[in-house]
Structure 1
Amino acid sequence: MKRTALSTAILLATTPLLADTPDSNAEAHTLDVVQVTAARIAQTVDETLSSVTVIDREEIERLQPQQFTDLLEGRAGIETSQNSAFGKSTSVYTRGTSSDHTLLLIDGVRMGSATTGGASWQFLPPEEIERVEIVRGPRTSIYGSDAIGGVVQVFTREGRKGPPKVNAFVGGGSFNTREAGVGVAGGTESTNYSFSLSHFATDGINVQDDVGDDDRDGYDNTSLATKVSHRLDNGVEFFGNVLYSEGTTEFDSGSIFAPDESDFVHAALRAGVRIPVTQRWDTELSAGHSRDESDNFLGGEFFSQFDTRRDMVDWRNDIEVADNVLVITGIDAYEDRVASDTVYDEESRYNLGAYSVVQVDMGRHDLEGSLRYDDNEQFGDKVTGQVAWGFQMTDPLRLRASYGTAFKAPTFNDLYFPGFGNPELAAENSRTFELGARYTSGPYYLDAAVFETGVDDLISNVCIANCDDGDSRTDVLQPQNVDEARIRGLELEGGYAHGQWVSRASLTLLDAEDRETGNELPRRSPITARYDLDRKFQDFSLGGSVIAKSRSYNRVDNVDRLSGYGLVNLRASYQIAPEWQLQATVNNVFDKDYETAGGYNQPGRAAFVKLRYQQR
């Protein structure tokens, strides 16, 4: 029976990835890294017509991250900004676009707050993650609103065929940090399953100087993840997955009498069925639910509640209309709902979308086109599209070019927040050109891309009253579609994995300009770079990362300058026994003082240790 694209995606998504692992050798690396986010089907990174980075479980454990942004910072085209560390508000800028222009997916579930528009990156637990796929460039024509800069998809831990295998860890370190977790995963010929539970807690650091108390602002997160699938004899497969996190994060607001804190819930749930209708037609029907909830307390007293929930359905079809032509088409819909002590003029809205992707294999040439129609209850309809071309110039060298349009829907705060919102807002719109090349030879690879993105109708807060009294505190602001941005950039990413050596490097050069003022867009550094290097010595391994950023500006007026910095992180591990491993890391080795958001402190030198158990 011929395997269609959807069944191939299922198979490859549940196959262990061999990218950049310390134990990999040249022979193992002939198996290419697979991703499924760029076009909703399984493709190797070498085959895709997009700029893609994949971070697998081996790399996650090797890097020993304390928070999810440790995995993203400094990657090609990626920059992060945090209001301090450990569970504090976090922004991710992909290719210089706004913080709410990157779509976060968790196992296919759309995440993000309907009120603020951004995703809660700070609450993602690294221990529950199997792999991360970063797709840079517009993907609205496939996924809908928010994907102007790109898509980051997080896949939770997976089970594979074999007897149940237990994994566990316990660790701790600086700032009275402690963590622990346990999980089990396995599978049979027809059923795969995984279940894990983890807890992370830290006293943290003082978020802001001279604001509120001088105490440390802590964070705790308890997370549960489960994933299960069952395939019938006729090929029909049922699946479901859950990632649920809850906890508390403290912050500084000015109160000196009691802690300021926020209780949060961050969750993604999805279930569905995949059906092989014919040898050339697979269909999938799924339903999902996401939550982004926070109850906020100032001085120990309840202050505000912002709970947003999203229900979604997706019907997708993969059809091989010819041996060299694949069509992916589907319909999806979601409804956002807001529950808050703040009274919004509207508390829900729906979005209905229809999408299609066509891929044509012409030997050394590949063509891909996508088109999507969205009907949004608030601002009406929108059509976006993308075209891409690839050319296999030589066996190791592949060229690509693409052009795509995208949009970002205004948030509930932009539209309906009392005394502030503007229900007449239109969606933000963008267009992106990209040229890229990828060279792969044995254990080496190098990927390069140049791009230009223009964003129109950017939403910005404009003063509409009391603007000339000389006191900005009395200004009356309202969001309006006024700004335009032009973002140009160069991305380089390369890697090497052979024998006992593993390395990966990335460099991004960025020119992100507000066309109305000529100012640089805030918190976008013109230069960012990252280099990871690891070496294994039998049972020992040593490694380190260097992350560097040039200066940027904290505000749109380019007055508040953030200094550039460089960080060095070192790590080591020792395989005590086949099933036991001891890990240690020292972050910010040279105790650099730096900020990624003006006025918010970042940790100095910090050390952590972790003991892992993995049943073989």
Structure 2
Amino acid sequence: WQPINPLGLSLVLRQEMFGETWAPVIPAFFIDGLLSRKGNVMLKASVSRNHKFPTLNDLYFLPGGNPDLKSEHGWTYDAGASFDVGWKAPFPVSMGGSATWFDSRIDDWIIWLPTTKGFFSPRNVKKVHAYGIEGKLNIAFEPFKGWIFDLNGSYSWTPSINEGEKMSPADQSVGKQLPYVPKHSASLTGRLTWKSWSFLYKWAYYSERFTMSSNDYTITGHLPKYYMSNVSLEKGLKFKPVDLQLKLAVNNLFNEDYLSVLSRPMPGINFEFFVGITPKFGKKKTEPKTDNH
């Protein structure tokens, strides 16, 4: 609904069923408005209810599944602004970006944690307050005809705090960051395109993560921060029946030694090759029109 031209309002009602169990009605309300036509500056905000059933893996994965898990539920709020500008001199350039603040308060958050039996198992955290800021910036320009360069950057600050009750007198998890959730993360992606060729470089950063809900700084209590670099080269080929996309990717370019999960080393430099096939079957060529006299 647009009560006035630069303002838009929308309401979404959703409901899900898991087995024979219906989730409560999940509403979401969105509002956005044009603050300035110069720079296409937009303001956006939303509020939505959250409800997430445990997945089949959460319930029944062997070993570690927990059939007694409760569904996650809560509310999420966010607000932000975005812009989009462009100019043509001395060559075509476009730039856009956004900044968003969010706040989520979730009950019975599902999290997988290590057990004394040597495997991970999910459990519910009674109350979690997840909030933070996310920023994105992108720029694209064409310095020479046919050569297009895209640069995209993002940064996230995402504290996720356990605000539940102590499970026991010795429980030190209340008021601490959730295990395996980095507080800071960032990425930078550059893509150079020329005709049907494309070269991409992606750099990513993840801050330290704790492995225990008490956030202890011990050898096994936290995982150090790490940086990651990936590159890929793509080539598109066009044929009459199909289009082909060939892609060679090099992951962990600098052979970084890192962990995503405690005691599970991640692979060093590794290579992947992809073939994409897009059929053109059934597409008829448009015949030129002729005049009948």
**Residue 182 of structure 2: aligned partner:** 525
1:365 paired with 2:29, answer: no
Aligned-partner Cα distance in 1 for 2:183–2:176: 13
Residue 225 (structure 2) aligned to one of 560, 564, 567: 564
Aligned-partner Cα distance in 1 for 2:66–2:228: 40
Judge conservation of contact 1:368–1:387 (CA < 8 Å) in 2.
yes
Judge conservation of contact 1:413–1:421 (CA < 8 Å) in 2.
no
Please give the per-residue CA displacement for 1:434-461, whole angstroms capped at 9, x wherever unaligned. Answer: 0111111232210211001001133579
Residue 455 (structure 1) aligned to one of 88, 98, 106: 106
Describe the shift of the 1:363–1:550 C-alpha distance in structure 2 as closer, same or farther (beyond 3 A). same
**Residue 502 of structure 1: aligned partner:** 150
Judge conservation of contact 2:15–2:22 (CA < 8 Å) in 1.
no
CA drift of 1:413 comes to 7.5
| One-letter amino acid of the structure 2 residue matched with residue 456 of structure 1 | D
**Residue 543 of structure 1: aligned partner:** 200
Q: What SS class does the counterpart of residue 36 from structure 2 fall into?
A: coil
Please give the per-residue CA displacement for 1:455-511, whole angstroms capped at 9, x wherever unaligned. Answer: 11335799xxxxxxxx955xxx996x6521001111112222333112222111111
Aligned-partner Cα distance in 1 for 2:163–2:54: 20
CA drift of 1:528 comes to 1.1
Please give the per-residue CA displacement for 1:146-190, whole angstroms capped at 9, x wherever unaligned. Answer: xxxxxxxxxxxxxxxxxxxxxxxxxxxxxxxxxxxxxxxxxxxxx
Aligned-partner Cα distance in 2 for 1:448–1:554: 30
Residue 25 (structure 2) aligned to one of 366, 383, 404: 383
Identity %: 22
Please give the per-residue CA displacement for 1:222-253, whole angstroms capped at 9, x wherever unaligned. Answer: xxxxxxxxxxxxxxxxxxxxxxxxxxxxxxxx
Q: What SS class does the counterpart of residue 492 from structure 1 fall into?
A: strand
CA drift of 1:384 comes to 2.6
Paired positions, count: 244
Aligned-partner Cα distance in 2 for 1:460–1:540: 42
**Higher helix fraction: Structure 1 or Structure 2?**
1
Which of structure 1's runs of 4+ aligned residues deviate more than 4 A? 373-381, 410-417, 459-462, 537-541, 573-583, 608-616
**Residue 289 of structure 2: aligned partner:** none
Aligned-partner Cα distance in 2 for 1:536–1:524: 35
Aligned-partner Cα distance in 2 for 1:377–1:525: 34
Judge conservation of contact 1:379–1:426 (CA < 8 Å) in 2.
no
Residue 593 (structure 1) aligned to one of 240, 244, 257: 257
Judge conservation of contact 1:379–1:427 (CA < 8 Å) in 2.
no
Judge conservation of contact 1:375–1:382 (CA < 8 Å) in 2.
no
**Residue 168 of structure 2: aligned partner:** none
CA drift of 1:408 comes to 1.9
**Residue 81 of structure 2: aligned partner:** 437
| One-letter amino acid of the structure 1 residue matched with residue 51 of structure 2 | F
CA drift of 1:420 comes to 6.1
**Residue 603 of structure 1: aligned partner:** 267
| One-letter amino acid of the structure 1 residue matched with residue 33 of structure 2 | F
Describe the shift of the 1:504–1:472 C-alpha distance in structure 2 as closer, same or farther (beyond 3 A). closer
Q: Which structure 2 segments of 5+ residues have no match?
A: 87-93, 143-147, 165-173, 281-293
CA drift of 1:379 comes to 5.9
Superposed, 1:412-431 pairs within 5 Å as 421-422=67-68, 426-431=70-75
**RMSD between aligned alpha carbons?**
3.8
Aligned-partner Cα distance in 2 for 1:490–1:498: 27
Judge conservation of contact 2:46–2:79 (CA < 8 Å) in 1.
yes
Aligned-partner Cα distance in 2 for 1:427–1:593: 36
Aligned-partner Cα distance in 1 for 2:112–2:186: 32
Describe the shift of the 1:409–1:497 C-alpha distance in structure 2 as closer, same or farther (beyond 3 A). same
Q: What SS class does the counterpart of residue 488 from structure 1 fall into?
A: strand
| One-letter amino acid of the structure 2 residue matched with residue 402 of structure 1 | S
Describe the shift of the 1:445–1:361 C-alpha distance in structure 2 as closer, same or farther (beyond 3 A). farther
| One-letter amino acid of the structure 1 residue matched with residue 80 of structure 2 | G
The normalised TM-score by structure 2 is 0.68
Describe the shift of the 1:383–1:534 C-alpha distance in structure 2 as closer, same or farther (beyond 3 A). closer
**Residue 489 of structure 1: aligned partner:** 132
Superposed, 1:293-442 pairs within 5 Å as 359-360=1-2, 362-372=4-14, 382-395=24-37, 396-410=40-54, 421-422=67-68, 426-442=70-86
Q: What SS class does the counterpart of residue 604 from structure 1 fall into?
A: coil
Judge conservation of contact 2:125–2:162 (CA < 8 Å) in 1.
no
| One-letter amino acid of the structure 2 residue matched with residue 602 of structure 1 | M
Judge conservation of contact 2:110–2:122 (CA < 8 Å) in 1.
no
Aligned-partner Cα distance in 2 for 1:548–1:412: 31
Judge conservation of contact 1:458–1:483 (CA < 8 Å) in 2.
yes
Please give the per-residue CA displacement for 1:413-441, whole angstroms capped at 9, x wherever unaligned. Answer: 87799x9643xx65321111101111112
Superposed, 1:182-221 pairs within 5 Å as none
CA drift of 1:575 comes to 6.9
Aligned-partner Cα distance in 1 for 2:42–2:202: 29
Aligned-partner Cα distance in 1 for 2:83–2:186: 20
Q: Which has the larger radius of gyration?
A: 2
Aligned-partner Cα distance in 2 for 1:615–1:478: 43
Residue 163 (structure 2) aligned to one of 502, 512, 515: 515
| One-letter amino acid of the structure 2 residue matched with residue 502 of structure 1 | D
Describe the shift of the 1:591–1:374 C-alpha distance in structure 2 as closer, same or farther (beyond 3 A). closer
1:554 paired with 2:211, answer: yes
Judge conservation of contact 2:233–2:249 (CA < 8 Å) in 1.
yes
CA drift of 1:577 comes to 8.6
Judge conservation of contact 1:369–1:385 (CA < 8 Å) in 2.
yes
CA drift of 1:546 comes to 0.7
Q: What SS class does the counterpart of residue 603 from structure 1 fall into?
A: coil
Judge conservation of contact 2:186–2:205 (CA < 8 Å) in 1.
yes
CA drift of 1:364 comes to 0.7
Aligned-partner Cα distance in 2 for 1:574–1:478: 43
Q: Which structure 1 segments of 5+ residues have no match?
A: 1-358, 463-470
| One-letter amino acid of the structure 1 residue matched with residue 229 of structure 2 | V
**Residue 283 of structure 2: aligned partner:** none
Aligned-partner Cα distance in 2 for 1:556–1:385: 32
